[in-house]
Amino acid sequence: MIPVFEPTLTAEAHSYVSECMSTNWISSQGDFITKFETKLSKLHEDRHCAVTSSCTTALHLALLACDIGPGDEVICPDLTFIAPVNMISLTGAKPVLCDVETDTFCMSVDTIRPKITNRTKAIVVVHAFGHLANMPEILELGKKYNLRVIEDVAEAPGGMIDNKIAGTFGDISCFSFFANKIFTSGEGGACLSSDDKIIESIKILRDHGMSMEKRYYHPVIGFNYRMTNLQAAIGLSQVEQFHEIIHRRKSIEDLYIKFFKDNDKIKYRHYADWCKGVFWLATVTIPEMSDRKHIISKLMDKGIECRQMVFPVHEAPPYHKLANDSLKNSIFISHKSLHLPSSSNLNKEQIQFITDSVVTAIDEQC
């Protein structure tokens, strides 16, 4: 079976984890946490960094650090993994869903602007499936309406607009290091910000609201959202190869693009010319009349594991009430797209086999 995604762990990962084990620094204190934070910071314009237990918890902390709570509205895309919407809800604020663009799969100023009301306090911008949302335009809109902007970089670390890297645009940016992400620590996340006060407050909140100067003194209510030294050890081994991993992954995506190039039925995910995207999951959109379930099952029979795209958020029962008339692109893209195997260790023959099999499965239907 060719899996949809598997991490590639290096010898350094093994040696760093062994070091944690042999020194007993296996919990949420230890050198690897500081080293991982420092490395992430260096890769992102020296923004201050706090690692967390996941991107989900990073998003929760980012929203709290922006003082989001009951009575506020926060705009986010309908086409996203559900974590940002769940975290907005957890603060007591109301998530407001906007549509995405068909070419980028991301929210844009045109889809965000109609959703702004006098209760809107923030936008959670999700960089979707390796493509960045148009941050310069969104930041300008945010400034005009005095909105906080949180970037969810889970699916596009390393992506760029005008040589500025994802995660350096918003007030706070949140990263995921889950095992199917471009860089992994097993489970894990991070918040980055140019504002040291924000990151300090996030470090307090992630650690039970405990003062950093006076141990066991808790000036605010907090959580245990910490990352362990073991996770940071794996994470460090990955981001030490940040540019190599992105480069290797790009060469895989180039093959997908090449092999699908002459097929007019299958639309491989497109990158706008203003965005230097990053390869996360190979994503194709199939013709309207084809049956995605059938295609996934045909590929499975050949030992190729594929994944349907996430459902639009408003199709989840807790969020049915957030459905609105403007979510057409989100619905179409979500229902007609699938992700193909995307691990960093795929070779050319495997990619040729996968693309040929997708073409055959679709040709059989239409």
Ligand X SMILES: Cc1ncc(COP(=O)(O)O)c(C=O)c1O
Piece in contact with ligand X (CB under 6 A), picked from 54-62, 240-248, 282-290, 314-322:
54-62
Piece in contact with ligand X (CB under 6 A), picked from 67-75, 77-85, 96-104, 323-331:
77-85
Q: Verify binding: residue 322, ligand X, rule CB under 6 A.
A: no
For 235, phi then psi, to 5°, come to: -60, -45
# binding residues, ligand X (CB under 6 A): 14
| Beta partners for residue 268, in sequence order | 284
Report in angstroms how near the CB of residue 82 gets to ligand X at its nearest: 8
Q: Verify binding: residue 108, ligand X, rule CB under 6 A.
A: no
Instruction: Closer to ligand X by CB, 56 or 231: give it.
Output: 56
Task: Give the residue from 289, 183, 306 showing the smallest Cα distance to 245.
Answer: 183
For the record, the structure tokens of 191 come out as: 């918040």
Q: Verify binding: residue 76, ligand X, rule CB under 6 A.
A: no
User: What sign has the CA pseudo-torsion 267, 273, 279, 280?
Assistant: negative
Q: DSSP per residue over 284-326, as a string?
A: EE--TTS-HHHHHHHHHHTTB--EEPPPPGGGSGGGGGG--TT
Q: Verify binding: residue 333, ligand X, rule CB under 6 A.
A: no
Report in angstroms how near the CB of residue 62 gets to ligand X at its nearest: 11
Provide the CA 17 distance to its chain's centre, in angstroms: 25
Instruction: Closer to ligand X by CB, 310 or 359: give it.
Output: 310
Residues 126-165 that bind ligand X (CB under 6 A): 126, 152, 154-155
Question: Quick one: which of 30, 32, 49, 56 contacts ligand X (CB under 6 A)?
Answer: 56
Q: DSSP per residue over 107-140, as a string?
A: --HHHHGGG--TTEEEEEEE--TT----HHHHHH
Q: Verify binding: residue 72, ligand X, rule CB under 6 A.
A: no
Report in angstroms how near the CB of residue 83 gets to ligand X at its nearest: 4
- Where would I find the H helices in the chain? 11-23, 31-43, 55-65, 83-91, 109-112, 135-144, 196-206, 229-239, 242-260, 292-301, 328-336, 348-365
Q: Distance (Å, rounded) from C-alpha 185 to C-alpha 188?
A: 6
Report in angstroms how near the CB of residue 150 gets to ligand X at its nearest: 11
Instruction: Closer to ligand X by CB, 178 or 260: give it.
Output: 178
Question: Quick one: which of 75, 83, 88, 97 contacts ligand X (CB under 6 A)?
Answer: 83
Residue with tokens 């090449």: 258
Instruction: Closer to ligand X by CB, 54 or 228: give it.
Output: 54
Q: Verify binding: residue 279, ligand X, rule CB under 6 A.
A: no
Q: Verify binding: residue 80, ligand X, rule CB under 6 A.
A: yes
Using alpha carbons only, what angle is made at residue 250 by residues 248 and 251, rounded to the nearest 5 degrees? 70
Q: Verify binding: residue 52, ligand X, rule CB under 6 A.
A: no
Instruction: Closer to ligand X by CB, 88 or 327: give it.
Output: 88
Q: Distance (Å, rounded) from C-alpha 191 to C-alpha 171?
A: 10
For the record, the structure tokens of 357 come out as: 């099999």
Report in angstroms how near the CB of residue 153 gets to ligand X at its nearest: 8
Residue with tokens 């995506």: 253
Q: Mask of contacts with ligand X, 167-196, x by CB under 6 A?
A: ---------x-x----------x-------
Report in angstroms how near the CB of residue 115 gets to ligand X at its nearest: 19
Instruction: Closer to ligand X by CB, 7 or 361: give it.
Output: 7
Q: Verify binding: residue 230, ligand X, rule CB under 6 A.
A: no
Task: Give the residue from 177, 103, 102, 98 showing the smallest Cα distance to 138.
Answer: 98
Binding site for ligand X (CB under 6 A): 54-56, 80-81, 83-84, 126, 152, 154-155, 176, 178, 189
